[in-house]
Every structure is written in structure tokens, then in C-alpha cells.
Amino acid sequence: MTAGGRNLILLGIGAIFVTFLMTGVSLAIYHNSGDIYLDRSRPGFLPDEEELEEEKTVEEDYEFEKTGKITKEVLDEYLSNIKKELETINSYEEPFNIEVLSNERLGIIEER
């Protein structure tokens, strides 16, 4: 093996070592700062008590069969569940209206 080949291998091993070192340091900072507990995308995240109550009141989502024959009964069940979802969406009071973001609606008190 030539000196250039050996140097290239040492460079690769050094880069991998630095990568592991920096990853370990960043994960340690992430854990020690407490930010790990704010990450809501982590599996096993413990939700707030209000969120638990909301989850209990919400019905289970309908899941369309991935296999099997499509029969009239299956389609009727699917359509009835879709109608429930549409009713829920239509019950919102103009969710994209500019008034939804008004200061009064958001509870922001204007200082004079």
C-alpha cells in the first residue's frame, strides 16, 4: 500500500470518528437541555391531560379495507363515514376567513 492510500484510509476513519463524536455531542446537548421532552414527534411522547380527554371523546377513524372485494355494503359504509367527516368539516365557521385571525377573536388586547 502506498503512502497516499494509507493517508486516504486514515482520512476516512478520522471523518467517521469526527461524525460519531459530533453526533454524540449533539444528542447529549439535545437530551440535557430538555428539548427532547418537547419533541412531539417522538414515539411514546406523553400528551397533556387535555389532549388525553380529547382523544377519549373522538371516535375511532374509519379505515377502508385494503383487501377484499368491493361490495355495495362496503361502499355504503365508506360513504356514510365520509359523510360524517364532511359534516364535521362543514360545521367549522369559515376556517379560512380573515376574521378568524382578528385580535378580538384571538384574545389579543390592543394597547393604547
Interval 15-60: pLDDT, tens: 999 999 999 999 999 888 877 777 666 555 655 566 555 555 445 5
pLDDT band at residue 101, thresholds of 50, 70 and 90? confident
Shared-domain flag, residues 50 and 67 = no
Distance from C-alpha of 62 to C-alpha of 109, rounded to nearest angstrom: 42
CB 59 within 8 A of CB 40: no
Shared-domain flag, residues 23 and 70 = no
CB 65 within 8 A of CB 74: yes
Final residue before a domain boundary, out of 58, 82, 97: 58
CB 88 within 8 A of CB 81: no
C-alpha grid cell, residue 51: 389532549
pLDDT at site 13: 97
Distance from C-alpha of 59 to C-alpha of 85, rounded to nearest angstrom: 11
Host domain of residue 97 = 61-112
